[in-house]
Amino acid sequence: MTGKSPITQRTARHGSHKLCKFDLSDLEWTNMIPECPTYHPSEHEFEHPLVYLQKIAHEASKYGICKIVSPIAASNPAAFVLMKEKKNFKFETNVQPLRLSKWNEKDIITFSMRGRKYTYHDFEVLANKAFFSRFHSSRDLPSSYVEKEFWHEMAQGEKGTVEYGVNVEGSAFSCDPNDRLGTSKWNLKNFSQLPQSLIRLVDREIPGITDPMLYIGMLFSMFAWHVEDHYLYSINYHHSGANKTWYGVPGYAASQFEKTVLQHVYCNKIITKHGEDGAFKFLAQKTTMFPPNVMLQHDVAVYKAVQKPGEFIITFPRAYHAGFSHGFNCGEAVNFANGDWFPLGAAASRRYTHLKMMPLIPYEELLCKEAMLVFKSSRVRSSKNKPEDTTSYQAIMLPFMHLMQSYKTSLLRLNSSRKLHSSSNTTGSQICSLCYRDCYVAYLLCKYCFSHPICLFHDIAPQTCLCGRDYTIFKRNDIFALEEAAKSFQQGKECVDKFSLSSIFSCNINDCIKVPENNPWQREKSVRGTSFLGVASKPKTKVADSTKHSDERNKSTTKHWRNNGLPSVRGAERPGIIYNLRKRKSKLI
């Protein structure tokens, strides 16, 4: 925050001040947004979080977000945990401008301006002063009134700012063994390690994904429109303080949402420069805030929730969401996923590859590990308890079969098209230096310099590394076991033919499986053949272009490695996957 008081730093409002995109002269639309469902699990239902969430997912995912009221309360409030249990706790804020951007390239709002460091108590004092300065009251106000005031401020404001403690590493769940909520499975510190959680398979710490983060806000602190990284679920617990208003767009409407933002929020220059992917690229920066009445005006489904202390908000895969705080508060969030997520994860992985975005999690590795666990489990179960009729089993089986068929086709093509060095084994993962795809099963790599790995899904890949030596195909030690599992799944494919993946999260499966026509890596009629899913695999590509510019791309990749750690060279061992192990700094929730 800058100056004496946030929110109140506004220039005189002139009648000539206009927003080119949004008309907020009438705020009655705030009463027209329907509420998302609220669930009240019993203490018995509350004992197994992911089981309960899977139970309500079919209904709740239709709204994009839902609210769950905890049947048990924390014994130790967030203030006690962050001031007593965590001594010397401090956090840094981001400064957020209280205005709507006109969304031209000279007027794009950024939320990355650094604020100051605060203790929990000092920020609470500051936030309460700001609230009193704005409303001349210290009492809670009706949520509908605060909502209208927020959008009025955003529409008319020019120089006002607020501060938000975003992506603060840590947790406000108590370590006290007598704290019921802290010892429950809903403690977000333990969420990633639950037996049904896919995140348990990630073997490195990723703040915000494997470990929760805190979000400490004040009046009008906001989290801009965004979808979770890799289309993951998210769970947000409201520890204490003022309410939060959330807006959510269900996953089935995500494409319509992006199209509407592209056409009615961003300016024509952005559309011309970035094309149809422009909306996703800019939304991924998590700095785009606009009123949800834009969705109402263009028939895009949007829902609302007012989150109070003691309540969880769940966001479902590929559900865009945004919101703001009604005053000083403390929340905590983490991502998660179960087996049903894999089709959405596959779609996100393809999109990241197409846009050359660095992945945060190793999707391919998670898929293979979970598929092998399911395969081994299915072999020891009795015939009466086979998992083939479960949604999660089928959601894992289809993407896994598709992946293994793609590798099989690519390996046959590479072996027949040119002379390669003898294959070597690997137990690690790599990031393709051309498209940033994560490779777990196999990849091309120079066994001398161990740099510039390439995935197998480029139809014309360079035979030699930049160091001048030939590439070698590295394959996993257990690739035959993976192939055996894929064959076993294929034999049980009859049950899949009767199964509609579109039932998962009420999502259009074409958005999950269908390859975008403008995707240069995944067009139809690929030489790699047709996949198990009956969908064209990776495309014919002019990787000559990629090779031509590989030097330039690898400079970019090297720069990323310098910021996040170079791959290690350990003799015969293979370098592990290189990821950005931190949530993007602009992420607001």
Task: Give pLDDT tens digits for 348-381.
Answer: 999 999 889 999 999 999 999 999 999 988 777 6
Q: What CA–CA distances, in Å, run from 377 to 202, 393, 400, 478? A: 20, 11, 16, 17
87 vs 77 pLDDT, higher one: 77
Distance of CA 84 to the CA centre of its chain: 32
Reference 74, options 163, 190, 149, 179; nearest CA is 179
Label residue 5 by pLDDT band (50, 70, 90).
very low
Question: What are the residues whose beta carbons fall under 8 Å from the beta carbon of 527, sequence distance 6 or more?
Answer: 413, 459, 540
Q: Which helix (H) or strand (E) holds 558?
A: helix 550-564
Statement: the pTM of the whole predicted model exceeds 0.75: yes
pLDDT of amino acid 66: 98
Task: Give pLDDT tens digits for 86-140.
Answer: 989 999 999 999 988 766 555 566 777 888 999 999 999 999 999 999 999 888 8
Question: What are the residues whose beta carbons fall under 8 Å from the beta carbon of 521, sequence distance 6 or more?
Answer: 353, 354, 435, 457, 458, 538, 539, 541
Pure H helices in 206-298: 254-264, 268-274, 278-283, 293-297
Crossing angle (nearest 10°) for helices 391-417 and 363-380? 120
Question: What are the residues whose beta carbons fall under 8 Å from the beta carbon of 556, sequence distance 6 or more?
Answer: none
pLDDT of amino acid 262: 86
Label residue 240 by pLDDT band (50, 70, 90).
very high
Distance CA 208, CA 583 (A): 6
**What 3-state DSSP class applies to 96?**
strand
Tokens, residue 467:
């160091």
Distance CA 344, CA 251 (A): 10
CATH of range 28-338; options 2.60.120.650, 1.10.150.120, 2.40.40.20, 3.40.640.10: 2.60.120.650
Interval 340-349 mean pLDDT: 94
Distance CA 50, CA 339 (A): 11
> Residue ranges per domain, the chain?
28-338, 355-503
